Every structure is written in C-alpha cells, then in structure tokens.
A and B are shown apart, each in its own frame.
Chain A
Amino acid sequence: METASQGRVQQHGIVGMSPGAYARVLIFFLAPAVLVYTLFSVYPLLDTIISSFYSKQNDGSYVYNGVANFVTLLTDPTWSAPFWNAFINNIKFFLIHMLVQNPIGLLLAALLSLPVLRFRTAYRTLIFMPTMLSVVIIGFTWQLILSPLWGIAKMFLQAFGLGFLFGPWLGEESTALITISLISVWQFVGIPMILIYTALLAIPDELIDAATVDGLNQFQAFFHVKLPLIWPTIGLVSVLTFVNNFNAFDLIYAMKGALAGPNFSADIMGTLFYRVFFGNQLQLGDVSMGATIATMMFLIILCGVMIYLFLIQRRLQRYAF
C-alpha cells in the first residue's frame, strides 16, 4: 500500500516527496488564495445573504423573518418603486455601454491592428489612460467640462454657432443618466479595445494572407475572417460589461450624490443600495434592507451570467491555432 501510494505521487511528477510533504506543498500554494478569497469574498457574500433574512427590531436586535424583506422590496410601493426605477435605469446604463462602448472599442481595436497605422502605441496609451484615472477625478473633470457656468463644452458649441444645442445635461431628468453613461463609456472604452486588440493580434497572418490571395479586401477580411475569430472575446467583453454595470455606483455617486437626481433619474442599483445600507443625511442606514438589495443585485448578475454561459458561450466556436 505504502509503495503504491508513493508510486502514485511519483506519477504526479513530484519525485521523492512524501505524502505529508506533498500535502504541505499543496496547502502552501493553495492556502493564501483560499484564505483571502474566503475572507474577502465568500464570507461577505454569505453574510450579506444571511443578513437579508433578518430584520432589525425596535430594541436594536435582529430577528429572523424569512423572505419578508424580499416581499417588502418587491411588493410595497415605498420600496418597489425605487427598486424597479433603479433596475430599469441600470438596464439603460448597461444598454448604452453595450451599444456605444463595445462597438467603439471594437472599431478602435480594428483600427489599431491595421498594419499601416503609425503612432500605434501613443493612441493605445491615450485611449486607455482614462481607465486608470480615479472616478472622482473623472466625475469632477466632466462636471467642469459640462458646467453651464464655466464649462468648455458650451463655449465649444458656441464657437461653431451651435450654442443653442447646449443644456444643463447633468441636471435634466431626461438627460442626466445618458450623460453619465456616456462619460462612463469614455472612461472605460479602453478595456474592450485592449481585450479585442489582443485577440486580433493572436490571429495568424497566414489566415489574412490567404484571404487576401482569395481576393478579399480589408473590410471583407475583417468581417469574414477576423470577426468570427474574435466572437469569444466579444462575448467575454459583453459579460464583463454586464457585471461591471450592474455593480456600478462610484461615478454616479461622485457626480450626483447618493440621491442620484433629479428625481432619482440617475439612480441605479448601486446608489440605491448605498443609500439604504449606509443612509443619507437624516436617513439612518438599514442593514437588513440594504443586504436584501445587495442580494437582489447578486441574483440579477448571477442570472445574467448564467444566461450568457448556457445560451451563448456554448454556441461559440473556438479555434486553436
């Protein structure tokens, strides 16, 4: 038995190591990740879900009350109206990213991978730069650019005789969310660009050469050869956009505060959660309802990712070169 198990260990390629030593090595390499992940990710997530099943009593203690918080959140108009408002705004926020950020990212990546392009590195760095800036700086800078009092946007439009087009976009109910979404697009467009650009670089030149010999021009080569090869990356970019957008909070909080106005027109799940969990001005924080909203956010993101995994990713074909 002894020799057999030792033999098996040796089969795994760890020559001359006793089972105990092997276990120690395993623990040595796995433990940090498992510990950190458990402590900072699994435990808070479980604790949040557990908290959502409790409610605070008047004496300050917490009592288990099943799914009552979820029923309140989804059926009591005081809670459900802000919740669905935030949910729908979040979907708009996501759609704007999907329809603007990712196509532009794809376009930029395609342009960057053109063999004739000069100053490639400069463009790449410049476009990726905003992604690395703090949202507080982004929010502040754009608030200044778009400011009706001293903003450059107004003067810029006026210089072309288009001053009448300018409005206090961040302050209007109809435009606040769209404006903030586009600012977020501006900030993060570098991420899809870099991911897709890397995927495009991985396509062997032989394929493009063959397509060119077969009589395809640059456009046709892109649509018929390159694009099918980068679908898996675009899928990945989409799912990352989805997860990030439904977890978003910081830019809206930085620009509009926790009330995400006017009239909650820029309120998304993240700001709603923040307001409920941590409170605002005279509103005291509510741990149970906050955790309930956080759990709903988790479920929404989970559903979205599962739909992607089961319906889309399975149909994507991968090519190995």
Chain B
Amino acid sequence: MIKTTLKTLLLAAAASVAMAGAASAGKLTIESWRNDDAAIWKDKIIPAFNKKYPDIQVEFTPTAPKEYNAALNARLEGGTAGDIITCRPFDASLELFNKGHLAALNDLPSMANFSDVAKSAWTTDDGKSTFCVPMASVIHGFIYNKDIFKEVGVEPPKTEEEFFAVLEKLKANGNYTPLVLGTNDQWEAATMGFQNIGPNYWKGEEGRKALIDGSAKLTDKPYVDTLASLAKWAPYLGDGYKAQTYPDSQNLFGLGKGAIYAAGSWDISTFRGQNVNMGAFKAPPPAGASDCYISDHTDIGIGLNAKSGNAEEAKKFLDWVGSEEFANIFANALPGFFPLSNAKVTLSDDVAQEFVNWRGTCKSTIRNSYQILSRGTPNLENEMWNVSAQVINGAMTPDAAAAQLEDGLKKWYAPHQK
C-alpha cells in the first residue's frame, strides 16, 4: 500500500517536472524574484511587448525573493528553468555565467544603449562578456520635506558647506529632526551614508576602479574625508539615533517629524503612501569639487538561459527590454527603480524625475564594495557597515575606520598587498 502511494507521488512529481519543462517549449517563461511586480508584468509590460511581437507568448513566473537564488540554481541544474532569467547583480549572476547557465549577450543590438557602468554588474572581470541586459538601478540622494524647509526658511543645499548650514538652521529651529538616519541596522549608515556622499570624494568610477586595481587604498584622503564628513552628521541626527532602526527612520520622515532623509530612491513610493510633500537633492559635493557624482547602483538585470529552446524569441524579448519603450513603462510603473539604458525617460513622479535628472548633470557610479572587493574574508561590505555606523556613533575616528577597511581588504586581496 505504502509503496504504491509513494510511487504515485513520485510519478506525479516527475510528471509536474516534465510539464514545467514542456511549458518552456511553447512560450517564453521569465524567472524572477520580483513577485511584488507580477501584476505590472502581466498587465503592462507583456501586453506592450505583444503589440510588437504578437506571436511570442511570454509568461512571468516569479519565486519569493529569499528562495530565488536557491530555487533558480536547482532549476538550472535540473534543466527545468525558464528561458529568461532575472539577474541579481555581480557575483551571484557571474557564478551562473561561469557555470554555463547564462548565455553571453554581447551581440544583442540594444546592448549599445547601455553605459559600461550600467553593464558592470553583469560583465566578467576581464570585461569581455556581458551576460544580462541591465534593467534597473536605485539612486542615492537626500529627500527633504518641502513644508519644513519653507517653515524654517531654507533652500535645498548645493554644496557640502550649504548642507551643514541648512542642518544647523534646522537644528536651531528645534521642532524637527534635521537629518533622519539611524545606525542600529548598520547598513543604513553604510548605504545611505557612506555610499551616498562618497562618490563625490573618490570621483565615482575613477576611484572605484583604482581601488580594484590597487592603485588607490582605502586609507587615502578621499575615503578618510568621506568618513570625516559622515562623522559630522551625528549632532543633527534624531535623539538616540544609535538605536534607531530603518523602519524608525522611514516613520520619522514619513510622519513629517524629520526634515532631511538620507535616501535610496526606492523609498519614494513609501513616502508617497504617507503623503509627504517632498523634494530631493543630490549628495552635495565638497568644496573645490568641479564635477559631481551620484551613486546609481545597478540592481536588476535580465538574461538568457543558455539551454533555452527558444533562444531566438528570447533574444527578441531581451532586445526589447533594452529599448526606450520598455524603459518608460518600467520606470513609471515602479517609481524609484530607474531603467539603466541611455534612453530618454519621462517620469510622472516628480521626485523620481528629480533623481533621474541627476544622471544628466553628474557622473554615475555604483557602490564601491560590490564588484570583486567583497569576495574574501573579512567581507568588505560587512566591514563598511560596521565602521560607518561606528564613525557616526563617535566610537571610532575616520582614520581608524579607514585603516580597518584597508587592513581587512589587504588580508586577502592581492592588488592591495603590494
């Protein structure tokens, strides 16, 4: 009895696996972790694609974000994965490419629409192969409460000096938390603090690449200066910011109790939900800087399953993802996630538009710990979380923090051991 039941179960399981495989033979299926966006794909993106290519059927089949990497790996190994794979940035996808699961997409015509920075998250270390079409990035900057700025009589700052002058005025007013950021969760200090203002100091890509090839060290002036500037934030942060969590920060600003919020663009939709009258300004460059730089971090890409049976159709779809049409649909459906192509994008959300406008005036870069430098132990990204929080907490000097970062990297990364 038991044996037969087990057999039936196994057969059923095998059948469902076979059917999943069969499904991919008829139409294109998209693997993704963005289950929040399923409705947008089904109602907006795929219909728009079908207007151009009515013969190609496309299905969006997302997995929960936490399970995505493991589930996708299993399906790729088992040969049952979908034709189109949504790519995590950097090492996770690079590993898939190196194992032969993702196809190189160098010859895709729309790849020309993307800058090298945009492609860096899905390009091999030697720069020879790109294996995912860059889809979206998140941009760092500061979101401010327009009503509070009006009440206190301050304008969005354009330089670092003005930034601290504004904070000083807001502090003197005393009714609001001048700058909203907490160090309890640590990543907030590193991502919304260090990576937000840092590119202006280390000159974006130039500095990031110098770190990778070893010609710059984390103990160099730009990094110490970034940390020193970060240390000056402490007096303007909320009462007890050391125990303030990320949701605390969101609420503090969302409820209109904070004036300036050190932001990632994905926060825009959160604050839209709370009806904050908000504007945005980019990380203000320090004195003497001629150019400005923004953290425009590559977050989502989309690639081709190397073993897909519908490679031709899939390539047509991926090429369309690189088009201006897709960029406009995607950006307006998800304010705060910005398309990475050079296409002209018009956004209906004015704050999101403000964020994306900075690309025109400033140079884009990605977070400097993401490519190559976080592959060893101690992990550079973790170290940055730790020291950024400590510097803001006043528990560590900027020099000591920079020294700890460099010492950690030097332990395993050859270009820094010279």
Interface residues of A (CB under 8 A from B): 78-79, 143, 146-149, 167-173, 256-257, 259, 261-264, 275, 280-284, 286
A169 to B184, CA, bound (A): 11
Contact of A148 among B90, B238, B385 (CB under 8 A): B238
Contacts of B393 in A (CB 8 A): 171, 173, 262
Contact of A263 among B185, B245, B386 (CB under 8 A): B386
Asked, given contacts A78-B411, A171-B393, A257-B185, whether A149 binds B244 with beta carbons under 8 Å apart, the answer is yes
Is there an interface contact between B381 and A148, defined as CB atoms closer than 8 Å?
Answer: no
Q: Which of B213-250 contact A (CB under 8 A)?
A: 238-245, 248
Asked, given contacts A263-B390, A282-B91, whether A148 binds B239 with beta carbons under 8 Å apart, the answer is yes
Contacts of A168 in B (CB 8 A): 240-244
A143 to B185, CA, bound (A): 12
Main secondary structure of the interface of A (DSSP, over half): loop
State the 9 A-B residue pairs at the shortest beta-carbon distance, nearest first. Answer: A148-B240, A171-B242, A168-B243, A171-B243, A168-B240, A282-B374, A283-B379, A282-B381, A168-B242
A35 to B385, CA, bound (A): 44
A172 to B382, CA, bound (A): 19
Q: Is the C-beta of B395 less than 8 angstroms from some C-beta in chain A? A: yes
Contacts of A284 in B (CB 8 A): 91, 375
Q: Closest approach, in angstroms, between the C-beta of A2 and any C-beta of chain B?
A: 33
Contacts of B386 in A (CB 8 A): 259, 261-264
A281 to B381, CA, bound (A): 8
Q: Closest approach, in angstroms, between the C-beta of B2 and any C-beta of chain A?
A: 13
Q: Which of B174-211 contact A (CB under 8 A)?
A: 182-187
Asked, given contacts A168-B242, A257-B185, A259-B186, whether A149 binds B252 with beta carbons under 8 Å apart, the answer is yes
Contacts of B242 in A (CB 8 A): 168, 170-172, 262
Nearest residue (CB) in A for B374 is: A282
Contacts of A261 in B (CB 8 A): 186, 385-386, 389
Interface mask (B381-416 → A, CB under 8 Å = 1, otherwise 0): 110011001100101100000000000100100000
Is there an interface contact between A78 and B244, defined as CB atoms closer than 8 Å?
Answer: no
Contacts of B184 in A (CB 8 A): 170-171, 256
> Number of contacting residues on B, CB 8 A?
37
Q: Is the C-beta of B129 less than 8 angstroms from some C-beta in chain A? A: no
Q: Closest approach, in angstroms, between the C-beta of B387 and any C-beta of chain A?
A: 9
Contacts of B395 in A (CB 8 A): 173, 262-263
Our count of residue pairs bridging A and B at CB distance below 8 angstroms stands at 96
Q: Is the C-beta of B369 less than 8 angstroms from some C-beta in chain A? A: yes
Of A149, A261, A284, A286, most buried by chain B (CB within 10 Å of CB) is A149
Contact of B238 among A78, A143, A149, A173 (CB under 8 A): A149
Is there an interface contact between A262 and B186, defined as CB atoms closer than 8 Å?
Answer: yes
Of B240, B369, B370, B381, most buried by chain A (CB within 10 Å of CB) is B240
Q: Is the C-beta of B346 less than 8 angstroms from some C-beta in chain A? A: no
Contacts of A172 in B (CB 8 A): 242-243
Q: Closest approach, in angstroms, between the C-beta of A98 and any C-beta of chain B?
A: 27
Q: Closest approach, in angstroms, between the C-beta of A141 and any C-beta of chain B?
A: 13
Is there an interface contact between A283 and B240, defined as CB atoms closer than 8 Å?
Answer: no
Of A148, A170, A172, A264, most buried by chain B (CB within 10 Å of CB) is A148
Given contact pairs A78-B408, A262-B242, A282-B382, enumerate 15 new A-B contacts (beta carbons under 8 Å): A147-B240, A148-B244, A167-B240, A168-B241, A171-B184, A173-B395, A256-B184, A257-B185, A259-B382, A263-B390, A275-B382, A281-B382, A282-B90, A282-B380, A284-B91
Q: Is the C-beta of B377 less than 8 angstroms from some C-beta in chain A? A: yes
Is there an interface contact between A283 and B243, defined as CB atoms closer than 8 Å?
Answer: no
Q: Is the C-beta of B378 less than 8 angstroms from some C-beta in chain A? A: yes
13 contacts between A and B (CB under 8 A): A78-B377, A143-B245, A147-B244, A148-B244, A149-B240, A168-B241, A168-B243, A173-B395, A261-B186, A280-B382, A282-B382, A283-B381, A284-B375
Asked, given contacts A257-B186, A262-B395, whether A171 binds B374 with beta carbons under 8 Å apart, the answer is no
Is there an interface contact between B243 and A146, defined as CB atoms closer than 8 Å?
Answer: yes
Is there an interface contact between B239 and A282, defined as CB atoms closer than 8 Å?
Answer: no
Contacts of B239 in A (CB 8 A): 148-149
Is there an interface contact between B91 and A262, defined as CB atoms closer than 8 Å?
Answer: no
Contacts of A79 in B (CB 8 A): 377
A282 to B395, CA, bound (A): 25
Nearest residue (CB) in B for A77 is: B411
Contacts of B182 in A (CB 8 A): 171
Contacts of B183 in A (CB 8 A): 171, 262
Q: Which of B247-276 contact A (CB under 8 A)?
A: 248, 252
Q: Closest approach, in angstroms, between the C-beta of A58 and any C-beta of chain B?
A: 10
A286 to B395, CA, bound (A): 30
Is there an interface contact between B243 and A170, defined as CB atoms closer than 8 Å?
Answer: yes
Contacts of A262 in B (CB 8 A): 183, 186, 242, 386, 389-390, 393, 395
A197 to B242, CA, bound (A): 40
Is there an interface contact between A280 and B238, defined as CB atoms closer than 8 Å?
Answer: no
Is there an interface contact between B91 and A169, defined as CB atoms closer than 8 Å?
Answer: no
Contact of B369 among A149, A259, A282 (CB under 8 A): A282
Contacts of B408 in A (CB 8 A): 78
A191 to B272, CA, bound (A): 46
Nearest residue (CB) in B for A171 is: B242
Is there an interface contact between A281 and B377, defined as CB atoms closer than 8 Å?
Answer: no
Contacts of A147 in B (CB 8 A): 240, 243-244, 248
Contacts of B381 in A (CB 8 A): 281-283
Contacts of B238 in A (CB 8 A): 148-149
Is there an interface contact between A149 and B378, defined as CB atoms closer than 8 Å?
Answer: no
Interface mask (B319-360 → A, CB under 8 Å = 1, otherwise 0): 000000000000000000000000000000000000000000
Nearest residue (CB) in A for B392 is: A262
A65 to B380, CA, bound (A): 27
Is there an interface contact between A169 and B186, defined as CB atoms closer than 8 Å?
Answer: no
Nearest residue (CB) in A for B190 is: A281
Contacts of A281 in B (CB 8 A): 187, 381-382, 385
Q: Closest approach, in angstroms, between the C-beta of A270 and any C-beta of chain B?
A: 17
Q: Closest approach, in angstroms, between the C-beta of B349 and any C-beta of chain A?
A: 28
Of B91, B185, B377, B386, most buried by chain A (CB within 10 Å of CB) is B377
